[in-house]
Every structure is written in C-alpha cells, then in structure tokens.
Structure 1
Amino acid sequence: MTTLKDVAERVGVSISTVSRVVNNEASHSVRSETRRKIWNAVTELGYQPTKSAKNQEGDKKHPAVGSPVGCILAVTQNKYNHPYFSGILEGIEKGIAEMGYELAFVQSVDDLRNPAVLNRILYENTPDGLILVEGLEPDLYAQLKKRIPHLIGVDVSDPGIPRITYDRVEAAKVVVQHLLQQGHRRIAFIGGAGLSHTIEKEKRYRGYREALWEADISIDPDWVIDCGWDVEKSYQRTKELLKNKENRPTAIFAASDMIAISAMRAANESGMRIPDDIAFAGIDNIEMSAYSSPPLTTVHIPKLEIGNIAAKTLIDYIGGRYPVPVKISVPFELKIRQSSVKEPRNS
C-alpha cells in the first residue's frame, strides 16, 4: 500500500509537505511546481489520500482535495477556440490544477439546452463549485444557484455570489474618449443587447453614451447598431450604414474586437480608408486585433488572469475563506494602434 512516505521520497520533499498538499492545508506556502510534482507522484504511485479528522467531522474550511468543480461559458459554440472565452478558460484550468482540484466539465450555453447534460449537472454529478463565465437566462441560473453549493461569476451581475470582473462602462468610455481626442464627433456604436434584451442597458453602450454626453454630443439613433454580437450582422449592418454618404460617422466603436474587425472589412469594401476616412476601436484585445488591417485600437482585458483569479477564488470560497461574497475588479489597458490614429502610439 502506498504511503505518504513513498510520495515524499519520490518527489524529494518532507512527509509533512506532502501531507499539507494532499489535505489542502497551508497550500499557499508550498510552491506551485512542488504541488504539481506531488500530485503527479500521487497519481503515478496510486496513493489514496484519506480525509483528515477535521474533514471527517465536516470542517468546511478544509474541503476534500480533488473535489470536482465545473465551468459554464455563456458562449454558444467554439468554447475552446473562441478568441475571448478561450483565454479565460485557460486561466481557469491552470488555476484549478495549481490548487490540486479537478475541473470536471466545461459546458457552453448550447450544451445546457440538452436536458441530459443539464440533468447530469443538477442531479447526477453535481459539482462542489461552479464558475459561470458571463450570465445565463434567469430560469437556468436560478436552477444552478439552487443546486450547486458554491458559484463564482465572471462578469455576472448577481451581488449574492463572488464575482470577478472589469469595469465595462469605464473601459468603453476610455475608448470613446480616445476617439474624441482624435477629433471625432460623429461616432457610431456596434454591439449587442445581451441578457437585458435592450441595448440601452448594455454596459459598453452605457460607457459610449456617457462619453458622448460628457462631451456634449447628442447620439444619432441611426448610428447605434444592435448586431446581436454576430460578426456577419456587424459586417452587413456597417455596409448599410456607410451607404449614406451624406450622413455617416467618422468613427465606429465596436463592443468587441470580433465585430470591430468584421465592420472594418465592410468599410474597406465600401472604399473607405482606415483611419483617414473612418476610425475604428474595439474591446477585448484578442490576438487577431494586432494583425487586422490596419491593427485595431482596443482595450486589453487580462483574460488569463481573470480565469486564474476566478479558479482560486472558487477554491477559497469552497473552503469557507470568504464569509461574504467578494467582488474583484481587474484593471484594463487601452492599446492604441493604427485603426484610430495615423501613427501608432502603442502596440
């Protein structure tokens, strides 16, 4: 039978260090690389960690190591290849692994429309905790919150659970203020309504609106485009917008890089030069934004860090280390490129 001593000898550490890791005690005092080696040795040697006396008595501050947790992404498809969500997912997976836990599943919104998948999460293999990346429809969210002991939200509005986010209103304002500083006063918006089903409540639209109001610029309703976060609709609607040569904007702020890049294609095909005839800016700083033609001005969102923080916050939450729901807001950074200025200031 494999013992703690066997694992310790395999890794080259003390028995007490192995014990702290497998019992999730003072794990922050053990380097992540050492923890990884210990768990590798546990797997290779077939060691079965036993619950400590405190865990057997139900001490919630020391949950069983390896307890399953899950992740749900509010994206309809391509959850591993989506240029925004995949970065967050990578951070979640790394953070969960570093803490010695298991990511039992990653599901998308489309996956949850399958009753068998939803039933498995809610009733058959219910995880100890769940990370929800962006919001879900209220009925579905209520079911998850009722059944799953611990929820963490990434860009979720519910103040009743711990949340990791960035200030979307302020990020949008910073982008639009940059366009204003370049001399633009005729600025259009392209985005989507989201779960609110009304674009006026969407945070990035609110930031756009506030920046224009503060500059004493009225909003032309014809320049506010709800493309439903669909890149094809963004492309088509931008083409329609630019047909009117007598009343068209000189700049477009898109609520994501993906829809900004598709809108830029529409401008190019309409014979407009970027940024001479029309400027563009987005949000997310996906990898492709630096390689669009021209490179896209955007806001860098630390996607990997958001996922990592969410993972570690969930484990701490399961362990009872947060008596009340916390809200952690990460910083963002404006990246100025050639789509909005003739000479780049930052890459």
Structure 2
Amino acid sequence: MTTLKDVAQHVGVSISTVSRVVNNEATRSVNPETRRKIWDAVTELGYQPNKWARQLVKGGQNAPSVAARVGCIVAVTQNKYNHPYFSGILEGIEKGLVDNGYELAYVQTGDDLRNPATLHRILHENVADGLILVEGLEPSLYEMLRKSVPYLVGVDVSDPGIPRVTYDRVEAAKAAVQHLLDQGHKRIAFIGGSGLSQDMVKEKRYRGYREALREAGIEALPEWILNSHWDVETSYQITKELLQSGKKRPTAIFAASDMMAISAMRAANECGLRIPDDLAFVGIDNIEMSAYSSPPLTTVHIPKFEIGSIAAKTMIDYIHGKYPLPVKISVPFELKVRASSVSESKS
C-alpha cells in the first residue's frame, strides 16, 4: 500500500510537502514544478488520499467504524522530516495507521504552528479527531491543542493525562556512560541540549549522565558540560574549542544524540586525536548513519519505528474507548558496542 513517505521518496521532497499538496493546503507555497511532480507520483504510485474515508462511504468491509482523521506534530526545529531520528518514528506512525485502516492526515512541526494561518487551520478548519505529538510543545500551544482535538497521544511527552509511548531516557543515558566507565574512563564529557525547559538539569539524558558519574564517585568538570542546543554544527565547534583550549582534556564523550556524537568525532579527528585510544565516543538513538561513521559509533539503540507504530495503535485503541485511563507504554533500549569506544586491543 502506497504511503505519503513513498511519494515523498519518489519525488525527493519531505513528507510535509507531499501532505500539503495532496491536502490542498495553502498555508505555505509549494513550487509549481514540485507540485506537478507530486501529483504525477501520486498517479504513478497509486497513492489514494483519504482512501479510508471513501471506503467508509461505500461501506467497505475493512473500513473503520468511524472515519477518524489522525494528524501528527513533531517538535523538531531542524532537518524536519529528513531528521534521522524523527523520520523513523514518523514512518512507524504512518505504517501503524495504514495497517489498521486509517490514514495520516497531515504532519506539522512546532515551528509550523507558529504560523497563525497554519495554527488556525488545525484548531478550527481542519480539526483532526486524534493528534499524535512527537516530543513536547510549548505549554501555550499544547493547551490550545488539548482544547480543540478530542484525542491526544504523546511520544516522549511528560503529561500523565494522555496516553504516552516512551523509553527511559535516564536509564538509556546511564547505560551509555556505564559502558565508558567499564572501559576505564573517569574523565567523561557530555554534549547535549536543554530542550523546551531551557534548563539542562531537567534534560533526562543529562540527568542519566550525572547519575552514572555520581554512582561511580566521579564529579564532572563544568567545562566538560557542552550545550550544543541540539545543533550539529554547534556540537562540532564547541568540541573543537574544548580540545584546542589547552585545558584538561576528557578521555571520553557521551553525546545525547548520534548526530552530535558524529560531528564531535569529526572535530576530534581534525585535532589529530585517535578514536577511541585518545578519545572515546558513545551516542544515543542508533540512527542508520552511526554504523557507517569513522569509526563506527557505539550507541544506544532506540526502536524508533516501533515507537511510532505503537503510538498509532494506541491512538486507534484510544479513539475506540479501549483505555478508560491514560496508559504509559515504555519500550526497551539496547547498547550497541562499536569501535568508537573499544580499541582493537580490547575487542
């Protein structure tokens, strides 16, 4: 069955662009040539917008009892739908909806909602029956959505009042740092971001890093806490600055995402350091690129597709009244040990 992602990959654009074209959204312009290519791909691949709603009208046997429309909002501000972490979750959400007779009505980002026309359309003109929120939103936006959309399901959100799918970020980070401790490292730096709270202390992966060090009786130096604001280029720059500063250098770095870890590894290479002998690295997410970095990156695997698929199924069950109370579903994670943290002599 053809999905939005299939059309997007065929044309070479983002899922959001395809969604805007097939849903005739006028809130953001799409190049006429791109629009033509999308409709050509829709015809060629056999994608059918709103297929399940039409099937319901015809009395299709596999149609849902209610023609529910499910939207998705991703709280990502960079790389949008090509983001190697969030794209896996989006793929799982769309597949989970399609397999159960629903369709992903639209995909927007937190930044998109800052456009008054887009926000008005979602709240008043094109209101979905259900909305899957991938990571947190600003409180004011979140409250507006809660008042307008009947069913909300969260992925890695903190509100206990709605069904949630998540993984234990604190324990995942602790597993990553514990691996470095097991390799004999005591001087371990951290690269991450502060998120919506703008407070690094509240960030769960940072908390896991600090807890692992505290339990090992180690205190991290303040200059080894690098806030990249989740930006890959900033991660590269601040890592290079640290390594060239002449100050006491860490022997290992835990990065709160693989993307930041890989850019920091480039900085280490450019500074003439050997990985992992001079400086070891561990990331988190296990994006596809992490297995092909130089050297391959040790990371914590997060089941991104499964998280999205479970969120979709949870939404469908929620719409059909199967959850009298909000549920929290936690998925497991797994450490993937590769050459960025273990030298050949130890492997």
Which residue of structure 2 lines up, in the alignment, with residue 312 of structure 1? 313
Q: Secondary structure at the match of 1:196?
A: coil
Question: Post-superposition shift, 1:46?
Answer: 6.7
Q: Which has the larger radius of gyration?
A: 1
Instruction: Quote how far apart the aligned CAs of 1:344 are.
Output: 9.8
1:265: Cα distance to partner? Answer: 0.4
**Aligned with 1:195: secondary structure?**
coil
Is contact 1:338–1:344 with CA below 8 Å preserved after alignment? no
Aligned to 1:266: 267
Q: Secondary structure at the match of 1:259?
A: helix
Gaps of 5+ in 2: 1-47
Q: Residue by residue, what CA displacement relative to the aligned partner does 1:79-110 show, whole Å, maximum 9, x if unpaired?
A: 33110000000000000001111211001122
Q: How many aligned positions are there?
A: 297
User: Residue 80 of structure 1: SS of its match in structure 2?
Assistant: helix
The answer to whether the 8 Å contact 1:164/1:309 transfers is yes
- For 1:345 and 1:47, how far apart are their aligned partners in 2? 61
* 1:76 to 2:85 alignment: no
Offset of 1:256 from its aligned partner? 0.1
- Identity score, percent: 72
Task: Indicate if the aligned counterparts of 1:173 and 1:208 stay in contact, CA closer than 8 A.
Answer: yes
In the alignment, is residue 48 of structure 1 matched against residue 57 of structure 2?
Answer: yes
- Amino acid in the other structure paired with 2:292: Y
Shift of 1:286: 0.2
For 2:38, the equivalent position in structure 1 comes to none
Q: Give 3-state SS (helix, strand or coil) of 1:307's partner.
A: helix
Aligned partners of 1:264 and 1:51: how far apart in 2?
54
1:285 corresponds to which residue?
286
* Alpha-carbon distance between aligned partners in 2 of 1:107 and 1:344, rounded to the nearest angstrom: 48
Q: Does 1:176 align with 2:185?
A: no
Name 1:86's counterpart in structure 2: 87
Q: Which residue pairs with 2:161 in the alignment?
A: 160
Letter in 2 for 1:204: R
Encode CA deviations 1:271-318: one digit per residue, 9 max, x unaligned.
100001000000000000000000000000000000000001001001
Please list the CA deviations of residues 173-228 of structure 1 after superposition, one character each: whole Å capped at 9, or x if unmatched: 00000000000000000000001111011000000000000000011111001110
CA distance in 2, matches of 1:242, 1:135: 33
TM-score by length of 2: 0.82
Could you say which residue in structure 1 is the equivalent of 2:121? 120
1:108 is matched with 109
Residue of structure 1 in register with 2:255 after alignment: 254
Give the AA of the match of 2:166.
T
Q: Which consecutive residues of structure 1, in runs of 5 or more, have no partner in the other structure?
A: 1-38, 53-61
**Cα shift at 1:64:** 3.8
1:184-263 correspondence to structure 2 within 5 Å: 184-263=185-264
Contact 2:169/2:205 (8 A) holds in 1? yes
* Structure 1 residue matching 2:249: 3-state secondary structure: coil
Match for residue 297 of structure 2?
Answer: 296
Question: CA shift at 1:325, angstroms?
Answer: 0.2
